[in-house]
């Protein structure tokens, strides 16, 4: 099939491996999101600035000379709370990313009915969701657990001897908590964009899911004197998970003013987040059909 | 060579209703038309073959691939052009087709090359860098055809390819489909409710009615058979002429006003009739090939499927059985 001949010829060349074909979706997803210069600049800032700040922080904390110069001895300790706070900041940025990028991944395929074209290829719905999810999960990973591990490595290499061994449990905590958070954000934003289809509305809804039920839950807790309302506050649930995995759960039990704080227990937090993620994937599964069946 | 389409009691239920009811049959043609009124189950059949709908019973084979067990292989062998809009508005045409070709397994470089070629092939070469959202309806249809062709499938599945097209655009689409059929080794499965589209592009037809098979018709053999059916208007002594034609093996019916109806045996050429007419000083004033149009076949299938036996089995006698048609042409 040559352009100048305007004649059809079959394809007899090589084919790519079937197992990795869903990565085409991921590659096109990245090429699409980085086509925007605004997003590219924003993402570079998200990836670099916190990492550079963290690196400087570690460098300063491990340099007694500089600490003496700025009179901050003991204040800049690199401990579990440092990594927890750093990941929480990146957790918020991850939410921003999910709200911005998530809806643009699936809704364009649904808006003009392109989904049957995807699903008529040798590609299952699981592959489709996996390929689209990887776009967001990798973007979130690049600003969360990957730089966190690099910071851990930096501290291990320039910090006091034995620091790494003492804090080795941070590594699985960083990876597990970040993957749970990114899986939840990814499932939520993809499910919302699949159901709403309108990108702006899906972005708004992603934020709404975090703030509206949280407010309702807080009111419920205040009236009923319980922690059950916490389960509607996804951000707080993740904070609970982070504190437990990082081994600083005692920080959760007291508020800043010293009064006891009612908080969802760790198993309830993890289960709720996993259940919410699963529910989002169920919603996605219901929506991602090549053809919809109208009942009645 | 595997059959193009084999249906084995294929049944599909949607929304609690039976949409396809035990379809069975084998179609070996290179270009198969799915014909039927709106709501007869044409698109449902295509969607079931592509694995979009779960079957309630039975199965099917497309190019020898079982739609349940070999779906991935089947999907890599076909190119699908859906009925409705199917595009990503913000993508350029060539980018979109390349994307689809890569998903079908072509390496990026080959996919890009074939996307360009496919766009030129369907006649959209100059518009390939425009965003799909800016295309006219006819261009979108052609872009859908380009994405179905780009990865070099063995079979094209076209669902109402001329939907919403104005006459020139429809003609262009039909020419393209005819060209694909004529010049490539590709097989076609074309669904349409427009008889003319199917007649112009297909050589075998599966007629559906209310989710059942109303008829399977080999258009090619039908055309060949019908070419031997003649209507004549003559002037002169036609009894002897008719006798000599009968001696030649033809079946003749002499009607008032010098009109004759003749069914010629396969080996007899039409020039023989002129020769005999000349010998008998008969003027042939008018000679028509009277052949069933697809419309006749379709209407007959629709009519026959109302018979109780057809309603039960979905297997109305195929319109290639000629008895009713011949009766309609003068009882020969």
Mark yes or no for CB contact B52/A116 under 8 Å. Answer: yes
Chain B nearest-CA distance from A289, in A, is 7
Among A43-57, B61-75, B131-145, B221-235, whose mean pLDDT is lowest?
B221-235
Average pLDDT, chain B: 85
What 8-state DSSP symbol labels residue A222? H
Whether A114 has its CB under 8 Å from any CB of chain B: the answer is yes
Chain A nearest-CA distance from B233, in A, is 46
Phi and psi at residue B22, to the nearest 5°: 60, 55
User: Edge to edge, what strands does the sheet with B57-62 contain?
Assistant: B17-27, B5-14, B57-62, B65-66
Scanning B33-52 for CB atoms below 8 A from A yields: 47, 50, 52
Instruction: Give CA–CA dist A274/A266, Å, rounded.
Output: 12
Among B50, B88, B102, the residue with its CB nearest the CB of A108 is B88
Span A258-275, average pLDDT: 86
Report the phi/psi class of residue A273: left, alpha or beta, with left for phi > 0 and alpha for psi in -120 to 50: alpha
Within 13 Å, how many C-alpha atoms sit on residue A95's CB side? 16
Per residue in A141-155, pLDDT (tens digit) is 999 999 999 999 999
Per residue in B188-235, pLDDT (tens digit) is 999 998 888 998 899 999 999 999 999 898 887 776 665 577 888 999
Query: What is the ipTM score, two decimals?
Result: 0.87
Span A110-135, average pLDDT: 93
Bridge pairing between strands B283-289 and B229-235 = antiparallel
Instruction: Give CA–CA dist A261/A250, Å, rounded.
Output: 11
Which residue from B244, B278, B275, B279 is spatially nearest to B262, judged by alpha carbons? B244
Compare A260 and A141 and report the one with higher pLDDT: A141
The reported pLDDT for the residue numbered A196 is 86
Phi and psi at residue B92, to the nearest 5°: -75, 160
Tell whether the model's pLDDT for residue A14 goes beyond 60.
yes
B234 touches B244 (CB < 8 A)? no
CB pairs under 8 A between A and B: 123
Compare B7 and A66 and report the one with higher pLDDT: B7
Bridge pairing between strands B251-255 and B259-263 = antiparallel
Give the H/E segment covering residue B61. strand B57-62
A139 touches A34 (CB < 8 A)? no
Tokens 């295509």 found at: B46
Phi and psi at residue B142, to the nearest 5°: -70, -35
Show the domains of chain B with their CATH numbers: 5-88+154-222 (3.40.50.300), 232-289 (no CATH)
Whether A259 has its CB under 8 Å from any CB of chain B: the answer is no
Per residue in A90-115, pLDDT (tens digit) is 999 999 999 999 988 998 898 889 99
What is the sign of the dihedral through the CA atoms of A152, A154, A155 and A157?
Answer: positive
B151 touches B105 (CB < 8 A)? yes
What is the sign of the dihedral through the CA atoms of B215, B219, B225 and B230?
Answer: positive
Beta bridge partners of B61: B6, B66
Tell whether the model's pLDDT for residue A23 goes beyond 70.
yes
Tell whether the model's pLDDT for residue B149 goes beyond 60.
yes
The reported pLDDT for the residue numbered A292 is 63
Beta bridge partners of B80: B157
Compare A36 and B319 and report the one with higher pLDDT: A36
The reported pLDDT for the residue numbered B237 is 82
Per residue in B244-302, pLDDT (tens digit) is 998 988 888 888 888 888 888 877 888 888 999 999 899 999 988 766 667 767 777 77
């Amino acid at each position: 099939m040559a352009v100048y001949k305007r004649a059809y010829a079959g394809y007899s060349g090589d084919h790519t491996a079937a197992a990795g074909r869903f990565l085409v979706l991921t590659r096109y997803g990245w090429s699409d999101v980085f086509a925007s210069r605004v997003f590219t600049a924003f993402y570079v800032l998200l990836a670099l600035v916190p990492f550079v700040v963290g690196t400087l922080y570690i460098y300063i904390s491990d340099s007694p000379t500089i600490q003496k110069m700025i009179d901050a001895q003991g204040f800049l300790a690199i401990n579990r709370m440092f990594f927890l706070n750093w990941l929480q900041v990146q957790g918020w940025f991850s939410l921003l990313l999910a709200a911005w990028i998530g809806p643009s991944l699936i809704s364009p395929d649904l808006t003009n009915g392109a989904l049957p074209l995807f699903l008529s290829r040798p590609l299952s719905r699981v592959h489709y969701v996996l390929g689209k999810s990887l776009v967001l999960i990798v973007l979130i990973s690049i600003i969360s657990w990957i730089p966190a591990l690099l910071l851990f490595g930096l501290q291990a290499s320039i910090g006091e001897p034995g620091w790494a061994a003492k804090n080795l449990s941070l590594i699985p905590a960083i990876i597990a908590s970040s993957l749970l958070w990114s899986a939840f954000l990814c499932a939520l934003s993809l499910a919302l964009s699949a159901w709403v289809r309108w990108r702006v509305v899906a972005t708004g809804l992603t934020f709404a899911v975090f703030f509206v039920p949280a407010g309702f839950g807080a009111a419920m807790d205040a009236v009923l004197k319980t922690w059950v309302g916490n389960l509607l506050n996804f951000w707080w649930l993740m904070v609970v998970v982070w504190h437990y995995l990082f081994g600083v759960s005692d920080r959760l039990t007291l508020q800043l003013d010293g009064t006891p704080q009612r908080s969802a227990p760790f198993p309830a937090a993890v289960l709720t987040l996993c259940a919410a993620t699963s529910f989002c994937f169920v919603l996605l599964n219901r929506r991602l059909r090549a053809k919809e069946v109208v009942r009645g | 060579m595997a059959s193009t389409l084999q249906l084995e009691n294929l049944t599909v239920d949607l929304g609690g209703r039976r949409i396809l009811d035990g379809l069975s049959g084998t179609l070996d043609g290179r270009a198969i038309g799915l014909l039927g009124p709106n709501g007869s189950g044409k698109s449902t059949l295509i969607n079931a073959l592509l694995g979009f709908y779960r079957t309630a019973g039975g199965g099917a084979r497309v190019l020898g691939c079982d739609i349940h067990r070999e779906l991935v292989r089947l999907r890599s062998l076909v190119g699908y052009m859906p009925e409705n809009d199917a595009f990503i508005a913000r993508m350029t045409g060539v980018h979109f087709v390349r994307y689809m070709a890569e998903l079908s397994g072509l390496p990026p470089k080959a996919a890009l090359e074939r996307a360009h070629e496919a766009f030129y092939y369907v006649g959209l070469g100059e518009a390939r860098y425009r965003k799909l959202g800016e295309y006219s309806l006819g261009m979108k249809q052609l872009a859908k055809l380009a994405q179905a062709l780009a990865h070099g499938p063995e079979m094209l599945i076209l669902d109402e390819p001329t939907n919403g097209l104005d006459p020139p655009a429809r003609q262009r689409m039909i020419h393209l489909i005819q060209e694909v059929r004529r010049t490539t080794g590709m097989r076609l499965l074309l669904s349409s409710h427009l008889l003319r589209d199917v007649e112009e592009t297909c050589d075998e037809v599966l007629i559906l009615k209310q989710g059942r098979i109303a008829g399977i018709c080999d258009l090619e053999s039908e055309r060949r058979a019908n070419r031997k059916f003649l209507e004549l208007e003559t002037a002169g002594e036609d009894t002897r002429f008719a006798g000599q034609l009968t001696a030649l093996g033809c079946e003749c019916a002499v009607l008032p006003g010098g009109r004759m109806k003749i069914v010629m045996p396969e080996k007899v050429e039409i020039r023989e009739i002129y020769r005999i007419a000349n010998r008998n000083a008969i003027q042939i004033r008018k000679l028509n090939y009277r052949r069933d149009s697809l419309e006749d076949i379709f209407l007959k299938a629709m009519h026959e499927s109302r018979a109780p036996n057809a309603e039960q089995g979905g297997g109305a006698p195929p319109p290639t059985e000629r008895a009713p048609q011949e009766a309609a042409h003068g009882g020969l």
